[in-house]
Amino acid sequence: MNMVNRSAAPALFDAQDAFKGPYAPRIQAFTEAGQQAGFTEARGDAEKIAVILVDYQHDFVDPTGTLYVPGSQQDVARFLTWFYANAHKISAIYASLDTHLPFQIFYSSWWKNPQTGEHPQPYTTITVDDVMNMKWVPVFQPDWSVRYVHQLQQQARKDLMVWPYHTMEGTLGHMLVAPISEAIAWHSAARNTQPTYVVKGRTIRTEFYGIFGAEIPDPEDLESGLNVTLLDAVMKHDRVYVAGEAKSHCVLETERQLVGHFSNQPELLNRLHFLSDCTSSVQHPAIDFDALAEGELAIMKQQGVHIVSSTEPMR
């Protein structure tokens, strides 16, 4: 982690902070350091560059988190090394926050076995056959829930995954890890630009992986539909870099949404850059999520998306 351009990075920054665990972010100190960076304002950039940070939150990045992604601390350290070396070129930051409530369709509280009364364990998959054979029945919204499992298989080609409780609103696990918050504060002050925070996941009847919309939009929650306004705002930039957690889920789905929405505009897909060493996949006892993600990313590369490393110079 010695690649930082020290003429740009604040003296406070240490890539090893990514491994420290939870601590109070030093927002005041990093803001003051940013004010002294001597950068030009982002609004004057001839080439506009955006960075999308997907869910760099404690529950995913810290080893004590409820849905820890192995390798994510190294991802954060590599990302920050890249970020501080290139911050003078970065015009905008979009940072998402996965945000959940106690009763949601992908939590064990939503489902039970009608014979035993038991709730499914985390990492249980609920299939169409399961709901048709009443292996698992919904505790809430029965008609919608059964229909949702069918739609998920038909439209997204997925089974419903039961997740551990994670990034619950108001908890430590929901917060961005401190070195990411510090970097955003520093960049905001250095380039006189406001970050955009994207809060996703509060829609209780559907999953919400990608930052631009839910897996299956809920007609009772308009915020679950595809956020075309946000998609257009991001793709007005000349280059867009994507990093975050987890590669196999929220990052991949964010990329899918971008590629899917702009699939008939190859000149826009050519703006997308996936920071491949700044993201890792969820580990599952029976499913190789990383292999699945790599397969999809290979297809995206053929469509024009750039798969890059944080060690490559930003052109």
Mean pLDDT of 82-111: 98
Give the H/E segment covering residue 256: helix 252-261
Residue 2 — very low, low, confident or very high, per pLDDT cuts 50/70/90? very low
Q: Enter the pTM of the model.
A: 0.95
Band of pLDDT at residue 79, cut at 50, 70 and 90: very high
Residue 6 scores a pLDDT above 70: no
What angle is formed at CA 56 by the lines to CA 88 and CA 236, rounded to 5 degrees?
50
d(CA 282, CA 287): 10
pLDDT at 4: 44
Selection from 98, 52, 71 nearest residue 279 by Cα? 71
Distance of CA 102 to the CA centre of its chain: 20
Arithmetic mean of pLDDT, 68-91: 98
The whole-number pLDDT of residue 8 equals: 78
Tell me what pLDDT residue 157 has: 85
Whose tokens are 């945000």? That residue is 99
Q: What is the mean pLDDT of residues 202-224?
A: 96
Average the pLDDT over 111-133 and give the result.
Answer: 97
Report the mean per-residue pLDDT for the chain. 96
In the chain, CATH 3.40.50.850 covers: 47-101+167-308
Question: Which structure tokens are listed for 145?
Answer: 């829930």
Q: Looking at the predicted structure, is the pLDDT value of residue 1 above 70?
A: no
Mean of pLDDT values over 36-46: 96
Provide CATH code, domain 47-101+167-308: 3.40.50.850
pLDDT (0 to 100) of residue 156 = 81
Dihedral, CA of residue 191, residue 304, residue 207 and residue 213, to nearest 10: 60
Mean pLDDT of 234-252: 98
d(CA 212, CA 229): 9
The reply to whether omega before 24 is within 30° of 0 (cis) is: no
* pLDDT band, very low/low/confident/very high, at 3 (cuts 50, 70, 90): very low
pLDDT of residue 285: 87
CA distance 57 to 292: 23
Element (DSSP H or E) covering residue 111: strand 111-112
**Is the pLDDT at 7 greater than 80, yes or no?**
no
Residue 118 structure tokens:
């038991």
